[in-house]
Structure formats: C-alpha cells, structure tokens
Amino acid sequence: MSQSSKRPPPPAHVQQEARRKFLRSMLLGGMAVGGGLAGWLPVARAHDLRLRPPGAIAEDDFLAACIKCGQCVQVCPVEAIVLADLKDGFGMGTPYIPARDQACDFSCDAVQCILACPTGALTHELSKKEEVRMGVARLDKPDTCLARQGLGFKGAARGADFPGLHRYEAVDRWKPILVADHPYDLELCDLCVRECPIEGAIALVPMSTDPTDKRRTPEVRQSCVGCGMCEMICPTEPASIVIDSRSVWRPS
Amino acid sequence: MSLIQSLAIMLGREPTKPRPDEYEPEAQALHEAKRACKMTPEQRAEINRQTHDAHKVHTWRNRRWLTLLVVNLLFVASYHFDVQLIEGALTASRVIGFHFADLNSALQVTLAFKTILINLIIGTSTVLFMWWLLGGRSFCSWVCPYHLLAEIAEMLHLKLAAKKLVKDRQLHRRTRVVLYVIFAVSALASGYTVFETISPTGIVSRAMIYGPSWALTIVVFLLVLEVFYSRRLWCRYMCPIGITYAVVGAVSPLRVAYTPQDCHHEGECRKVCLVPHVLDVTKKGFAPSLHQGIGADCTRCGLCVDVCPTGSLKFEVKGLDKLL
C-alpha cells in the first residue's frame, strides 16, 4: 500500500489513453456480443419453419445441437441439403432442404445425413426412411392442381432448365438424374403420387361417384414423411402441393 | 516462467520483469556481462544490417501458409471431388472416418444442448491430443483460414501505418476473457450456439467448402476494422477460440524457445508478433534463465523465428533433445 501511495499518478495523456482503451474494449466487445445475440431476432420472429433434413430433433434443440459442419450436406446424393445463411441468425450454418428446388428423395436409401451427423441433431434413433417425420404434405392450391381438373401432363415436369435431381429406379437404380432429362406423357397428372418415395403416403382419389369423371384429388396419408418430393415435382407454378415443415398429419 | 504465470499473462495480465530472486545465476551473470559491454558504432551498424536482412526471411511463414492452404483445400477437395479425407468443416469433421470436433464449437454445442454427446467426446479428445502435441494455438496460425486473411489485412495496416495514414488502437487483452465468459454463459442460458453466429473461423471455413454466404460480410467488416482501426483486432483481443487453444498450448511440448546469449534485444520479434506479451522475455535483462519456452498464448506462427537475426528464437520439442 505504502508503495503505491508513494508512486505519482500517471501523466494525463497516459490516463486518457487508458480510459480510451477501456472504452474501445467495451464498445468493440459489446459489438461482438451484440452481433452474436442479434442472431436471436430471426429465430424469434421466424414464422415459417425451415424444412430440416430427415431425423431433425425439435427445432430449438436442433439449433443448439447442430455444430454447423455441413457433413449432412456432403453425403446427400441429390444435394438436397443446403446451409442457412446470415438471415437465419442462430440458425446460420444449419442445414435445411429447399424442397421446391431440390427435395429429399431418399436416393441414399439409408438416411445418410443422419449417419453423417456428429452431434445427433439429426437423431440417430432413425434408421428407415419410413420412420422420418420432417413435416407433412398439404394441397395448398387445389384450383391449380392438374389432376383435380382431370388434366394430363406432357414434357419435363419443371421445364427444361430445372436443375433438380431425382433417382428414377427404372432409369438407374443408383444414380440420380436430372428431372429435366426425364420427360413424362401422362393422361392424368399423377406426378406427386408417382414420384413419392414412400409407399402409400399419397394417393389420387376420385372426386365423384361418376365413373366417367376423370378428376382425381391427391390425398395425403398418415405415412407421409414430408420429404418434399411432391412439392418439387409438381408441374404447376407455384406448386399446388407443398410441405408444412414440422407439421404432423391429421385426418382431413 | 511458471505455468500459472504463463496462463495469467495469456488471460490478460501484463508481463513484468522478473524479481531479482527469480533469475538463475547463469542468466544473472549473462545480463551483467551484457550490461558491462559497450558496443562500437561498427558493431551497431552490423546489427542493424543483420536485422534488416532478417526481415527478408520467410521460411516458417511460407511453410505455415502452405500448410494452412493445404488443410483448408483438403476440406474443399474432400467434398467437391469426393476424396473423403476430411469431411465436414473446421467446426466438426471426419478425418478418414474419425470424428474431429473443434474444441470451442463442441463447447458451445454442449453448453447450449446440455447433453454429453459421445461423438463430441471422441472428437474433442482426438483434437485435444493433436493440438497438445502440435502446440495449442498453432491451430490459429497453421489452420484457421481467418488468420491468413487477417495476416494480409495486417500487412495492409502496417503499410498504411508506416505512411501515417492509420493508427493502431489497442484494446484491453482481457476483452477476450470477458467475451469468452459471455459467449459461454449465453450459450448455456439461451440454448443457442451464440458465438457460432459471428465466428469468422466457422464462416470462412463453411464459405470455402459450401460456397460464399452473406455471413462473409461479418468477416469483411472485421478485416476493415483490422486494416483501418486496430491491428489484428479479432485474433489479439476477441476470439474465444484463441483462449481455448492457448490453454492446450500452455502444456504443449512443441514451442518456441528463447536463448538470450546471442540476442541483441533489438525487439524485431516483438514488432512482428501477434501476441507480443509472450516475447517480453526477450527484452534486455528480462530472461530469468538461459533457456526459456515462451508463453501459452504463442501461436507458433514462426514469424519471430524468421525475423530473429541471431537464432535466439527457435522451435523446439521439449525433452526431445534429451531423448535423442
């Protein structure tokens, strides 16, 4: 104590620099913390939940558990999984599936993304595609649905420039090909049913008892896993059928 | 220097000159001999020439940059050409199938998720062991892609500073400790990996592998600050990843060691160093012994080894010379 009291106070410019250094540290440190915490805003305000890869645990747990490494992205054979950007806040770097652009069609058979996840953000308790629940399909625009109008479909489902991939078992059991390279010629459009990777998840049902009435409506069943394949393949623009992320199936 | 001292200085304490009783007799004798010897103008000119020439040596920097690029490009190549050597990003990966997890990312996930994950235990143990062997913060300078960008920004900063166009404004080194605690607490309290939202290491690593993102604006903002406002702002004063690896490095056998016998104490090493407080020992009369590992915060970048005209700073593996 006696030592410090003997020492003269540092000169004014040293004191001033010390004060400035402190303020700078507070300001820039505060900016770093503020920048980090600002990531909460998009999470709190999000009304549309992202369609997460198969096996994703509850959204809040998912955001906590995901280590943002993208290993799920790397193993997906159709490259359906992309990483969220800055505007997802805390969700930055977490994987999601923009189903309209590229859906998960379970080309990998064994839910590879789940096996790749190092933290169990994609739960390791699933092993079959049928057990997955990413969301549920819903006929969003019944009026534009071709089947409901009794219409057929001819040509590439999403146009010649669409970059999306799909594994057609009849073409190549192992290798997904461009949807654009696989044109259709259908008397009645049943693309959502035809390309659904889950057996019995969606079916076309007649709209009247009249046997000459060609009109059919897509009916989503309980086994729907919400992979988004129907949303991707739907030829109307915008898609007549969409996935409600993280929704559960209810009888209509 | 004791481990406690080394850690305290890493955590922000200012290094001090050793107390008289802390000097070994040989070091004491060396300092006295150096003090007694007066240099002739010719000798001084010779030292200046040596110092000037030493700035042209970039052996370790080049090796380091090459390593950094190769490691990061292996991540990129593993994905794009399906080589499967290092899958994932710097936050977590599989190296030839084995789990690796960045210590700080794993900590953030564990605190936010509040679950002990077996893969992360495997991944962090492997990484902990690897970086204990390789020098702790050597992760920063030999692997972290932001470090390379920051080094380029630093060169720009120094060029501008030499022309008096910019000024380096220092921060408290404890800022980093405070941030470390805040980010750990906020992960625990909020249940989100808050730090990952701004971590330039994760952002740059993911951008290299998965393509550019808007998150890079955070990185650009930091680099602009580092060029125009404060030299090496992020790595010096803010990054919590640095603290995590510095703790590992404190007990690492791979280190830069200082031998004061030939040292001119001209201080070029401290001028190039990211963390100059670890080189306080190179000041005239500061070395308490004739052979001294430098502190925990050292990133083993080798800039001081390159710039030292007398070979007083060298990489060593502690105990290896005894073994051989």
Query: Does the structure show a pLDDT above 80 at A2?
Result: no
- Nearest CB partner across the interface for B101, out of A66, A67, A116: A67
B206 contacts chain A (CB < 8 A):
yes
Token digits of residue B165: 């166009």
Residues of chain A contacting B78 with CB distance shorter than 8 Å: 74
For residues B43 and B36, give the distance between their C-alpha atoms in angstroms, rounded to a whole number: 15
Q: Is the pTM of this model over 0.80?
A: yes
Residue B2 banded pLDDT, cuts 50, 70, 90: confident
Domain boundaries, chain A: 49-245
Contact A55, A122 (CB under 8 A): yes
Query: According to the model, what pLDDT value does residue A139 have?
Result: 96
User: pLDDT at residue B1 above 80?
Assistant: no
Show residues of chain B in contact with A74, CB under 8 Å.
78-79, 87-88
Cβ B60 vs Cβ B304: under 8 Å: no
Which parts of chain A are beta strand (E)?
82-83, 95-96, 135-139, 153-155, 165-166, 177-178, 184-186, 202-206, 216-220, 241-245
What would the mean pLDDT of B134-162 be, rounded to a whole number?
A: 96
Q: Does B233 touch chain A (CB under 8 A)?
A: yes
* Partner A contacted by B110 (CB < 8 A): no
8 Å CB contact between A117 and A195: no
Inter-chain residue contact A118 with B214, CB threshold 8 Å: no
- pLDDT tens-place string over residues B64-116: 999 999 999 999 999 999 887 899 999 999 999 899 999 999 999 999 999 99
Element holding A219 (H helix, E strand) = strand A216-220
Backbone torsions φ then ψ of A121, nearest 5 degrees? -65, -30
The label of the residue with tokens 């290491």 reads B201
**Chain B: closest CA distance from residue A119 (Å):** 6
Instruction: Please compute the mean of the pLDDT values over residues A22-44 and round it to a whole number.
Output: 94
Q: Are A106 and A112 in contact (CB under 8 A)?
A: no
Closest CB to A67 among B94, B109, B230: B109
Tell me what ipTM this predicted complex has. Answer: 0.90
DSSP at B253: S
pLDDT value at residue A3: 52
**B chain contacts of residue A70, beta-carbon cutoff 8 Å:** 88-89, 206, 209-210
Note whether B194 contacts A: Cβ–Cβ < 8 A.
Answer: yes
Across the range B239-266, mean pLDDT stands at 94
Residue B191 three-state SS? coil
Of A36, A116, A118, the CB nearest to B120: A118
Task: In whole angstroms, give the CA distance from residue A17 to residue A22.
Answer: 8
Task: Identify the contact set of chain A against chain B, taking CB-CB distances under 8 A.
Answer: 20-22, 24-25, 28-29, 32-33, 35-40, 43, 60-61, 63-71, 73-75, 82-83, 85-87, 89-90, 92-93, 116, 118-120
Percent of chain B with pLDDT over 90: 85
Query: Whose CA is closest to A122, among A98, A97, A99?
Result: A97
- Say if CB B294 and CB B279 are below 8 A apart: yes
Mutation target vs B (from A61, A119, A123; most B CBs, 10 A cutoff):
A119
What confidence tens digit (pLDDT) does each residue in A103-159 have? 999 988 878 999 999 999 999 888 889 999 999 999 999 999 999 999 999 999 999
Q: Quick check: A28 pLDDT over 60? A: yes
Whether residue B91 and residue A67 make contact (CB cut-off 8 A), yes or no, is yes
Q: Which residues contact B292 (CB under 8 A, 6 or more apart)?
A: B1, B257, B258, B259, B260, B281
Nearest to B140 by CA among B269, B277, B245: B245
Q: Quick count: other Cβ atoms within 10 Å of Cβ B118? A: 12
pLDDT digits (tens, 9 = 90+) for B274-292: 999 999 999 999 999 999 9
Q: Which residue of B has its CA nearest to A90?
A: B197
Angle at A72 between CA A69 and CA A78, to 5 degrees: 135
Contact A68 B169 (CB under 8 A): no
Whole-number pLDDT of residue A1: 45
Rg (CA), chain A: 26
CA distance B176 to chain A (A): 8
Contacts of A71 in chain B (CB under 8 A): 87-88, 92-94
∠ at Cα A79 (A78, A82), nearest 5°?
150
Q: Does B75 touch chain A (CB under 8 A)?
A: no
Q: Which pLDDT score is estimated for A169?
A: 86
Amino acid type, B216? L
Using one digit for the tens of pLDDT, what is the confidence trace for B37-49? 888 888 888 888 8
pLDDT on residue B318: 87
How many Cβ atoms are within 10 Å of A154's Cβ, its own excluded?
11
Chain B residues touching residue A69 (CB < 8 angstroms): 88-89, 91-93
B46-64: burial string, b at 16+ Cβ within 10 Å, e else: ebeeebeebeeeeebbeeb
Asked if A74 and B79 come within 8 Å (Cβ–Cβ), the reply is yes
Residues B4, A66: Cα–Cα separation, whole Å = 35
Of residues A39 and A127, the one with the higher pLDDT is: A39
Q: How many angstroms separate the CA atoms of B284 and B265, rounded?
A: 6
Average of pLDDT values for B296-317? 95
> Percentage of residues in chain A with pLDDT exceeding 90?
83
Tell me if residue B132 falls in helix, strand or coil.
helix
Nearest to A119 among B117, B169, B206 (CB): B117
Shortest distance between the Cα of A85 and any Cα of chain B, in A, equals: 6
- Is residue B202 pLDDT above 60, yes or no? yes
CB-nearest partner of B179 from A33, A63, A66: A33
Closest CA–CA distance from residue B105 to any residue of chain A (Å): 7
Whether A78 shows a pLDDT value over 50: the answer reads yes
Query: From CA B70, how far away is CA A30, in angstroms rounded?
Result: 35
Which of these, A136, A97, A92, A129, lies nearest to A224 by C-alpha position?
A136
Q: Do B238 and A68 touch (CB under 8 A)?
A: no
Give whichever of A2-11, A172-181, B298-307 has the largest mean pLDDT: B298-307
State the Cα–Cα distance between residues B286 and B34, nearest whole angstrom.
12
Confidence band (pLDDT; 50, 70, 90) for B15?
Answer: very high
Q: What is the pLDDT of residue B233?
A: 96
Report the pLDDT value the prediction gives residue A5, as an integer from 0 to 100: 58
How many Cβ atoms from other residues are within 10 Å of residue A83's Cβ? Answer: 25
Please name the residue of chain B whose CA is at the shortest distance from the CA of residue A91: B197
Q: How much is the mean pLDDT over chain B? A: 93
- pLDDT in the model for residue A172: 87
Shortest CA gap B202–chain A (Å): 8
> A220-242, pLDDT tens digit by residue?
999 999 999 999 999 999 999 99
Residue of chain B nearest A77, judged by CA positions: B82
Task: Compute the residue count for chain B.
Answer: 324
